Amino acid sequence: MTKGRIVGIKRFEIHDGDGIRTTLFLKGCPLKCKWCHNPEAISSKSQVAYLKEKCIGCGECVSVCSAHAHSFFDGKHVYDRNRCVHCGKCVDVCLGDALTLYGREISPKEALKLLTEDGIFYNSSGGGVTLSGGEPLQQADFCMELLKLLKTEGIHTAIDTCGFAGKSDIDKIIDDTDVFLYDIKFYDNKKHIQYTGRTNKPIIENLKYIDIKGKPVEVRIPLVSTINDDQMEPIGRFLATLKHIRKVKLLPYYNFSSSKYAALEMENMLPAVETPDDRQITDAVGILKSFGLNAISGKE
């Protein structure tokens, strides 16, 4: 049985599909979006995040770390990321919650047990389970096995995907996926490469493929001022050619704290742009609606 590497689980979610849902976040993403709010999900490898402002100096991490990644110098905690083997022992004993392990391994059956705990809420609200990331299709075999188990339990399933995957990976999960939550960031390929590091050609082609297969799709567009706010018309024109787009949701970019990047010692890529105001969001929604799409703001 294939094991998956996960970032975490979020319960009682209402923005990742219909009803009340539990979202399982998988690790690893092929894109490097400059506005990414989840840097902990980009790398496919396990990572330990260290928030030094939360460290209380208890020293528990030193006592359990056989790799000697933790030490104290002049009374201050020092974390050597290069020594770390990501076993998670330090995270389990940290009294100040200064350490977090992103990338715990889990089997489909173990994941099913966690996800079915909220079954009563799925049944009462028309909700279910959403597999997100990162990019869940980076772990397509794990998703395939887990989705099959979820369907045997009668649970509604959704895949939240950037669409950058091989068709063979989509084929592994499409029959057991009830709805796709599909990110479209740009229609212009050059801009897509500039801001995500990858071409959007497989993303466009995969959405066409999913549409041909007759699967319902909710498109999500991150609206980032001065970066992709000129893409609404070409995106709308493209989406209007498809038959199974049930909703298009605009998600305004928020310029938030970069503490996650610092905790992981990753380069902060967040663009210093303002959050789109109500007028910008209304105008963007209006452009999409002009193509006959059921477009809404993520605030709704």
Domain co-membership, 149 together with 283: yes
Q: Where are the alpha helices (DSSP H) in the chain?
A: 60-64, 89-93, 108-115, 119-125, 140-152, 167-173, 189-196, 201-212, 232-239, 259-263, 278-289
What confidence score (pLDDT) does residue 142 get? Answer: 98
In the DSSP assignment, the letter for residue 53 is G
Relative orientation angle of helices 108-115 and 140-152, to the nearest 10 degrees: 50
Domain co-membership, 77 together with 119: no
Query: What CA–CA distance (Å, rounded) separates 300 from 289?
Result: 15
Q: Cα–Cα distances in Å, from 85 out to 81, 261, 284?
A: 9, 20, 46
Domain co-membership, 68 together with 93: yes
Domain co-membership, 264 together with 122: yes
Domain co-membership, 219 together with 248: yes
Among 80, 102, 124, the domain boundary falls at 102
* Rg of the chain in Å (alpha carbons): 20
If one counts the domains in the chain, the total is 2
Query: What CA–CA distance (Å, rounded) separates 158 from 131?
Result: 6
The two structure tokens encoding residue 206: 């995969």
Q: Cα–Cα distances in Å, from 267 out to 34, 262, 263?
A: 10, 8, 11
Domain co-membership, 36 together with 165: yes
Q: What angle do CA 25, 27, 31 make, to 5 degrees?
A: 105
Domain co-membership, 277 together with 175: yes
Query: What CA–CA distance (Å, rounded) separates 177 from 128?
Result: 11
Domain residues for 271? Answer: 4-44+106-297
Domain co-membership, 82 together with 212: no
Among 57, 79, 102, the domain boundary falls at 102
Q: pLDDT tens string for the chain (300 positions)?
A: 799 999 999 999 988 899 999 999 999 999 999 999 899 999 999 999 999 999 999 999 999 999 999 999 988 999 999 999 999 999 999 999 999 999 999 999 999 999 999 889 898 899 999 999 999 999 999 999 999 999 999 999 999 999 999 999 999 999 999 999 999 999 999 999 999 999 999 999 999 999 999 999 999 999 999 999 999 999 999 999 999 999 999 999 987 767 889 999 998 878 888 899 999 999 999 999 999 999 999 865
What confidence score (pLDDT) does residue 12 get? Answer: 92
Domain co-membership, 52 together with 12: no
Relative orientation angle of helices 278-289 and 232-239, to the nearest 10 degrees: 30
Torsion sign (Cα): 175, 179, 182, 187: positive
What confidence score (pLDDT) does residue 299 get? Answer: 61
What confidence score (pLDDT) does residue 270 get? Answer: 80
- Which CATH number fits the domain that encloses residue 265? 3.20.20.70
Among 55, 72, 102, the domain boundary falls at 102
CB 178 within 8 A of CB 217: no
Domain co-membership, 128 together with 165: yes
Domain co-membership, 198 together with 138: yes
- Which CATH number fits the domain that encloses residue 94? 3.30.70.20
Q: Which residues make beta-bridge pairs with 180?
A: 159, 217
Domain co-membership, 12 together with 159: yes
